[in-house]
Structure 1
Amino acid sequence: MSQQDNPVTQMKWMIYGANGYTGELIAREAVKRGLRPVLAGRSRDRIETLARELGLEARVFGLDDEARLLAQIKGHGLVLHCAGPFSATAAPMMDACLRANAHYLDITGEIAVFEHAQSLQERAQAAGVVICPGVGFDVIPTDCVAAALKRALPDATHLALGFDSRSSFSPGTAKTSIEGMAQGGKIRRDGKIVSVALAYQVRRIDFGDGEKLAMTIPWGDVSTAWHTTGIPNIEVFIPGSAGMIRGARLANFIRPLLGLPFVQRLLKARIGKTVIGPDEEKRADQGTYVWGEARNARGECKVARVHTANVYSLTIYGALTVVDYLLQERPAGGTYTPARLMGVDLVTDLPGSGTLKVE
């Protein structure tokens, strides 16, 4: 049944940042599914060209003018925000959505954005608005793994999560990674997010494709997994060669330089000129292994694994699955993580996902 045929899904909704790599992919898939989002962003040429091609409404505006932003959001029941770096764009869009009574979704993986969203819980409840950042690869699969492990080991005190992906970066993801390197590592310890060195912990992990050397990264689950599970100690890992880990640890010595505004601008400008996201053929050939491990005070341990589609394909499917849910359902307002909003089976319901196994 198409959106036009179903009165429940007549809510007008918007993809902001549809001119970006992932935003455009989501827009194209939405149209294939019979959905009719409004396409919006700051790049007039790219937004209007894509909207004409897809037969959709286009809106062009930035996020720096609060009054104009609110006027553009009003009348929409939902915004899927795809314009990063979310450290700069998420807060004004969340505020506009709350004031316009529009649900807010995004595809961030940034810890600070997740924490800001949690600070808006009371406003979201009062407005009857759902705020759910991280409805892409950041952080649907790891959030569902965390929820499954909490269910399997309710008294867990320590949670480790991770993923093994061969996917190349999109320009937006690469720029966010440059910001993250300047900020250093992050883990959750005794319920608090604390700053640590890059590659703070190193261990060997079988993510699902054989045991590999792995290091900690400041992934979004340092925030979200705690809000999903209440487990107070959380670390997130990715595989890395010995050389990659040495490089990350050496970067700790130049982090103050990486944080300088002109260095950030220089690195991001280079990324904009040189980084191109993976094409459809590469995405189809780049599945991802997702892993998690929970331990309790008695030393009992549970391990979970699930194999998913490529990180960008999963982001497309995940974002539109949550959009479709909010077009048809009316959950209570508040700030959610993906697993809290839609349950632990969200990841396995997505195309390309296998069974989530807990051992």
Structure 2
Amino acid sequence: MKLAIYGANGYQGKLVLAEAVRRGLDVVLVGRDITRLRGAAAVVGLSGADVRPAAVDDHDALVAAFREADAVVNCAGPFTPTGAAVVLAAIAAGRHYVDTAGEQPYIKEIFDTFGAEAEAAGVTVVPAANDACVPVDLIAGLLAARLGPLEEIAGVHVITGGGGPSRGTLRSVIESMDIIKAGGLVYDDGDWRAGLPARHTSIILLGGSEAVPVATFPLPEVVTIPRHVQVRHVEGLVEAALSAQLSDPIDPEIIARLPEGPTEEGRRTQRFTYVIDAVAADGRHGRGVVEGPDTYGTTAVIAVESARRLVTDPAKPGVLTPAQAYDATGFLNFLVPHGVHWTIEEDTPGN
């Protein structure tokens, strides 16, 4: 199997490349700078790597490069200004597509724009194949299967350690600044809306005794969950302090002078906890929890596995959520040896 990795020379792209090589997959490195692509190949020990220069605005070059592979993994953020062109090229090449995006407006745009084209081409597109959206979306589906129709889902992200975000993440924050300041899209009564007040202002984490203040935030799973779960209200939340920090303007010149991303040691110290609280229409409660290390490394594992599964165990064509494309329990259990642990409990107290 061969994966085309677009943006293989970026911080996240190099981690995805290393994971693909570790798993014995063939790769095509695609991007606009052939020198940087060759440098990325050298880092993971690829001599004579298949390198295909293609700028994001060169549709023909992208299509030609993607046709050399079985599936495309797009790691080139920010995705809001460029991601749609890569999706379009993957569809034109007849190749399944995943990306590592976390930008909520972009993810919604892909669902709203490319479903019919992907279906007609026999291609499956799964945006947001990252450390958070995939496991959270899968667990939301499992909760709904247990609880039935839901009144609401509240997803909460808590991340500690890690040495700070990558330059690419910070540039994606800039692209999403308006929606971050508005608290992100919230799904409510059949549509996605901005500016709705949060239903939850604090959460008690597993094993904790004190409430953690939270605020609404544009999380990817707010876009994906309502597409496969019967639910009236879905909101995404992060710690209030993080929301306030990311709502401050970031100078692009400062970002350019920062390290490309956290060091290996920094990534080893990082931990994430994603909580999915669900309330059924009949009042029952359920909670899913995903815990693990290293958001960037885990994203690499998830992105490669997401693309691999589309090739070896095809889903229906179209733009799909993770829960629509993959077997939830099978994928979640695949992540356990990589340090990601998940639990689901029913009838937990509300927060």
TM-score when normalising by structure 1: 0.85
Deviation of 1:73 (Å): 2.5
1:107 to 91, 95, 100: 100
- The 8 Å contact of residues 143 and 338 in structure 1, kept in 2 or not, is answered as yes
Separation (CA, whole Å) in 2 of partners of 1:35 and 1:326? 14
Contact 1:306 1:357 survives alignment (8 Å): no
The alpha-carbon deviation at position 314 of structure 1 amounts to 1.3
Alignment partner of 2:293 out of 301, 309, 334? 309
Please list every run of 5 or more consecutive structure 1 residues that lacks an aligned counterpart in the other structure: 1-8, 252-257, 259-265
8 Å contact kept, 1:75–1:100:
no
Match of residue 176 from structure 1: 172
Residue in 2 that maps onto 1:219: 219
1:223 match: secondary structure: helix
Matches of 1:302 and 1:209, distance apart in 2: 16
**Helix, strand or coil for the counterpart of 2:278?**
strand
CA distance in 2, matches of 1:238, 1:131: 27
Residue of structure 1 in register with 2:21 after alignment: 31
Aligned to 1:254: none
**Pairs within 5 Å for 1:37-76:** 37-52=27-42, 53-55=45-47, 56-76=49-69
CA-CA distance at 1:353 after TM superposition: 1.4
Q: Secondary structure at the match of 2:129?
A: coil
Shift of 1:41: 1.2
2:349 corresponds in structure 1 to none
The equivalent position to 1:284 in structure 2, one of 240, 265, 268, is 268
- Kept in 1: contact 2:316–2:325 (CA 8 A): no
Aligned residue number for residue 296 of structure 1: 280
Deviation at 1:163, TM superposition (A): 1.7
- Residue type of the alignment partner of 1:126: A
- In structure 2, C-alpha distance between the alignment counterparts of 1:248 and 1:123, rounded to whole Å: 35
Change (3 A) 1:209 1:87: farther
Aligned residues: 332
Partner of 1:149: 143
The alpha-carbon deviation at position 202 of structure 1 amounts to 5.2
3-state SS, counterpart of residue 349 of structure 1: helix
On the 8 A contact 2:118/2:318 being kept in 1, the answer is yes
Is the Cα–Cα contact under 8 Å of residues 173 and 246 in structure 2 kept in the other structure?
Answer: no
Residues 1:245 and 1:224: Cα distance change in structure 2 (over 3 Å): closer
Aligned mates of 1:177, 1:208 — CA distance in 2: 28
Report if the CA contact (8 A) 1:292-1:304 is conserved: yes
Residues 107, 138 of structure 1: 8 Å contact kept: no
Contact 2:96 2:307 in 1 (8 A): no
Matched, 1:232 2:219: no
RMSD value over aligned CA atoms? Answer: 2.2
Amino acid at match of 1:35: L
Task: Quote the residue 2:345 is aligned against.
Answer: 358
Q: What is the TM-score normalised by the length of structure 2?
A: 0.87
2:191 corresponds to: 192
Which secondary structure state, in structure 1, belongs to the residue aligned with residue 68 of structure 2?
coil
Task: Tell me the alpha carbon deviations over residues 84-127 of structure 1, each in whole angstroms, 9 at most, x when there is no partner.
Answer: 11111211111111111011110111222222322322222221
Match of 2:334 in 1: 349
Does 1:96 find its partner at 2:80?
Answer: no
State the AA in 2 paired with 1:306: V
1:118-133 paired onto structure 2 within 5 Å:
118-119=111-112, 120-133=114-127
Amino acid at match of 2:52: R
**Inter-CA distance 329–299: structure 2 relative to 1 (3 Å threshold):** closer
What CA distance in whole angstroms lies between the structure 2 residues aligned with 1:31 and 1:106?
A: 18
The structural deviation recorded for 1:306 is 2.3
Could you tell me how far apart the structure 1 residues matched to 2:244 and 2:128 are?
30
Q: 1:248 and 1:209 mapped to 2: Cα distance? A: 27
